[in-house]
Amino acid sequence: MTVRSTFVLAAALLAGCGADLGGPCSPTELCEVGVCDLTNPGGGICVDGDSDADGDGIPAARDFCQHEMGGEYDEDLDGIGDICDACPIAPPPASPDADGDEVESPCDPDPSTAGEQIVVFDGFNGSEAPVGWKVTTGWEFRGGEAIATPGSPTATALLSAPLSLASSHMAALTRYRVDRVDTTATENAAQVIAIDRRPAGVTIVSCAGTRVAGMDRLALDTGVMFANDVVDSLFDPAALYRAVLRIDGAQAQCALIGDADAGAAQANTNGENMTEAGLGAKGATIRFGYLLAVQRPN
């Protein structure tokens, strides 16, 4: 049974009979006939599951963005596809879109200032790195995860996506699990990063869960300043971790939430425009669930 079919069946059992084709519907009031088009501009409406309003070759029963090309993937299982979701990592209303920029919290790093755009999102549903991304050795893509396994205890496996704006206002978010820790490595790390590639050199700003000499810390390294916060249990294979790196002009902020603890740090940057957002792993096998990048013009 598909995810959409399971969702429809469960909702029908809970809510009872729904509307016929053309009738109104919602995540809790679905359709007796057809499927609910939750992305209809005028509100949810029941449509034929075999229809294809946007002509992308994906029938409505499997299309979570029925008015935009693509839409077969729905990371947060809210019935709205990743490419047309105002926050593809959290079901609505995760938080109101207070600033009206069509990016909802928790995806919006500054919900009081308009202008944010989702410029990168991938839930790693393919078997290869997304087109146009930079990838070092040590990556595998399967089961909706990007799995990083560095080639040696000292190597860092990096994956990065190009950003569409020239801006020093951005945020990169990820979710991950730790699969294995290399006990021979002097440092273990799971990173979310921003990169500025200039002709004169490369600047990497890293927000990472790290372990050095048995001590777990949240570490923020901007290239000009280092800050950290002691956080318990950052490499528990049974835990789920969420990390966010935010850069706002000449300041960076790093936050991480795990099952056992949370931490945050901030540090100055050189104020450069970041050109890529990405993920990294060192001394550990890390299973990343997605990469989300949000930017606002300078």
Q: What percent of the chain has pLDDT over 70?
A: 94
CATH of domain 118-296: 2.60.120.200
pLDDT at site 207 = 98
Average per-residue pLDDT for the chain: 92
Q: Give the Cα separation of 285 and 251 in Å (integer).
A: 30
pLDDT at site 9 = 40
Let me know: does 46 contact 53? Beta carbons within 8 Å: no
pLDDT at site 208 = 98
Asked if residue 96 has pLDDT above 90, the reply is no
- pTM exceeds 0.95 for this model: no
**Least confident window among 51-60, 78-87, 91-100, 228-237:** 91-100
Q: How far is CA 89 from CA 43, 79, 92, 253, 273, in A?
A: 21, 12, 10, 20, 25
Closest CA to 83 of 99, 66, 95, 100: 66
Q: Which residues of 255-289 are buried (b: 16+ CB within 10 A; e: fewer)?
A: bbbbeebebbbbbebeebbbbbbbbbbbbbbbbbb
Tokens in use for 290?
């997605």
pLDDT band at 6 (very low <50, low <70, confident <90, very high): very low
Query: Cα 131 vs. chain centroid, distance in angstroms?
Result: 17
SS3 169: strand
Q: Give the Cα separation of 189 and 212 in Å (integer).
A: 9
Domain limits, the chain: 1-85, 118-296
Environment class of 144 (CB within 10 Å of its CB; exposed 0-12, middle 13-18, buried 19+): middle
pLDDT band at 3 (very low <50, low <70, confident <90, very high): very low
pLDDT at site 30 = 85
Let me know: does 54 contact 81? Beta carbons within 8 Å: no
Q: Give the Cα separation of 68 and 104 in Å (integer).
A: 19
For residue 102, give every residue at least 6 positions away whose Cβ sits within 8 Å of its Cβ, in sequence order, or none: 86
**Which one is predicted more confidently, 20 or 157?**
157
Complete DSSP assignment for 41-57: TTS-EEE-TT--TT-SS
Give 215-235 pLDDT, tens digit per residue. Answer: 999 999 999 999 999 999 999
pLDDT band at 206 (very low <50, low <70, confident <90, very high): very high
Measured at the alpha carbon of residue 147, what is the angle toward residues 143 and 150, in degrees to the nearest 5? 160
Q: Give the Cα separation of 177 and 146 in Å (integer).
A: 11
Average pLDDT of span 184-208: 93
Give 104-125 pLDDT, tens digit per residue. Answer: 989 999 998 999 999 999 999 9
Give 10-56 pLDDT, tens digit per residue. Answer: 444 344 456 899 999 998 898 999 999 999 999 999 999 999 999 99
Let me know: does 275 contact 197? Beta carbons within 8 Å: yes
pLDDT band at 94 (very low <50, low <70, confident <90, very high): low
